[in-house]
Amino acid sequence: MSSEGQIMDQINATLAEAIDQVTNSTTKPKSTPEGMAIAYGSLVVMALIPIFYGSFRSVGFQKEQKESGEKVEPMSRKEAALFPLYASCALVGLYVFFKFFSKEHINLLLSAYFFVLGTISLSSVFSNFLEYLMGRFTPNLARKVDKYHFLFNKNQDEIVNLEFDTKDIASFLACSGIGVWYIFKKHWIANNLFGFAFAIKAIEFINLNNVVTGCILLCGLFVYDIFWVFGTDVMVTVAKSFDAPIKLVFPQDFLENGFFGNHFAMLGLGDIVIPGIFIALLLRFDVSLNRGKNGDFMTLFKYEESSADEPEDEPEPVERTKKNK
């Protein structure tokens, strides 16, 4: 009886401890109203940075393409209409993979993929920003940067043709360190740095040539979101399983835990890129008219700032540019 009594006492103590843990975890607030305000306010600011910088990069990219004689291929209406279908196929593919294969192994492959892609994208953004700073504040030093050219041909076919300089090498090494930090720690700051780079490069390279194409794209993505989020569990399942820098995050418990917070508010990169390509379209339109103040661009950018939490309403002011055209 004594041994049975000891066993029962241990079981009761274990149950009491488990109940206390469950009670504390459910009653203790994960974040405060002040912490939530800081988190969502920070997300708004972080969303505006890649939109603003990426829009100006899109102008520079098109200018470089035209000066080099390369033809700028904008997104066609057919591509805009089919884009939600391609996105749906990719989403279902990920859903199937996560259902039938190990989530840890898939995320390991995704981490390696995004390490390479993120490092290249972030180093490109950082190198461009460093080039701007050097040209503005240290022009003499900018002219002394060593330049390199790597060319690899096979059977008179060009395989690799890279031009880079010292600052590109320094940027790549620094961003590789950030990539290693992300791989091993998955810290939210490293995640956001990669997210910044992806959003900036997407806004820079995705070229809308008119508002009609953009509206087709937006309407298709609207139906895509409604169906996959509210009609099925596919989007939610993939979002919970997908561990990659495809979103910006900020800890809602920042006031309590600082940079080591783990209860995050998040904003998907799609909610940044889609309004961003419309704003980039307006900036290119202003530049084509030689407007000194970029009137349409600043008007829509301010509209984006005032309603950044409602991305589905962003493209409405773009209709005004259609009338101007």
Please determine, for residue 313, whether its predicted confidence score (pLDDT) is greater than 50.
Answer: no
Catalytic residue among 157, 165, 168, 225: 225
Assess whether 271 carries a catalytic annotation.
yes
Structure confidence at residue 200 (pLDDT): 94
Mean pLDDT of all residues in 92-98: 88
Please determine, for residue 323, whether its predicted confidence score (pLDDT) is greater than 50.
Answer: no
Please determine, for residue 316, whether its predicted confidence score (pLDDT) is greater than 70.
Answer: no
Query: 177 or 2, which is more confident?
Result: 177
Please determine, for residue 308, whether its predicted confidence score (pLDDT) is greater than 70.
Answer: no
Identify the three-state secondary structure at position 135. Answer: helix
Please determine, for residue 293, whether its predicted confidence score (pLDDT) is greater than 70.
Answer: no
Please determine, for residue 196, whether its predicted confidence score (pLDDT) is greater than 90.
Answer: yes
Query: 9 or 60, which is more confident?
Result: 60
Query: 192 or 65, which is more confident?
Result: 192
Assess whether 225 carries a catalytic annotation.
yes
Catalytic residue among 168, 253, 271, 286: 271
Structure confidence at residue 5 (pLDDT): 58
Cβ atoms of 277 and 83 within 8 Å: the answer is: no
Identify the three-state secondary structure at position 153. Answer: strand
**Rounded Cα distance, 199 and 121, in Å:** 10
| Neighbouring C-beta atoms of residue 83, cutoff 10 Å | 16
* Amino acid, res. 234: V
Could you report the per-residue pLDDT of 39-82, keeping only the tens digit for each?
999 999 999 999 999 999 898 888 888 887 777 778 888 999 99
Structure confidence at residue 287 (pLDDT): 83
Structure confidence at residue 291 (pLDDT): 62
Mean pLDDT of all residues in 305-311: 46
Q: Is 179 exposed, middle or buried (0-12, 13-18, 19+ CB in 10 A)?
A: buried
Please determine, for residue 191, whether its predicted confidence score (pLDDT) is greater than 90.
Answer: yes
Please determine, for residue 86, whether its predicted confidence score (pLDDT) is greater than 90.
Answer: yes
Please determine, for residue 33, whether its predicted confidence score (pLDDT) is greater than 90.
Answer: no
Structure confidence at residue 176 (pLDDT): 93
Structure confidence at residue 2 (pLDDT): 53
| Owner of token pair 């843990």 | 21
- The residues that bridge with 264 in the sheet, in sequence order, are 251
Tallying the residues shown for the chain, one arrives at: 325
Structure confidence at residue 290 (pLDDT): 74
Please determine, for residue 37, whether its predicted confidence score (pLDDT) is greater than 50.
Answer: yes
| pTM for this entry | 0.76
What does the mean pLDDT of the chain come to?
79
**Rounded Cα distance, 114 and 108, in Å:** 10
Please determine, for residue 295, whether its predicted confidence score (pLDDT) is greater than 50.
Answer: yes
Structure confidence at residue 40 (pLDDT): 92
**Rounded Cα distance, 79 and 83, in Å:** 6
Split at pLDDT 50, 70, 90, the class of 178 is very high
Structure confidence at residue 173 (pLDDT): 93
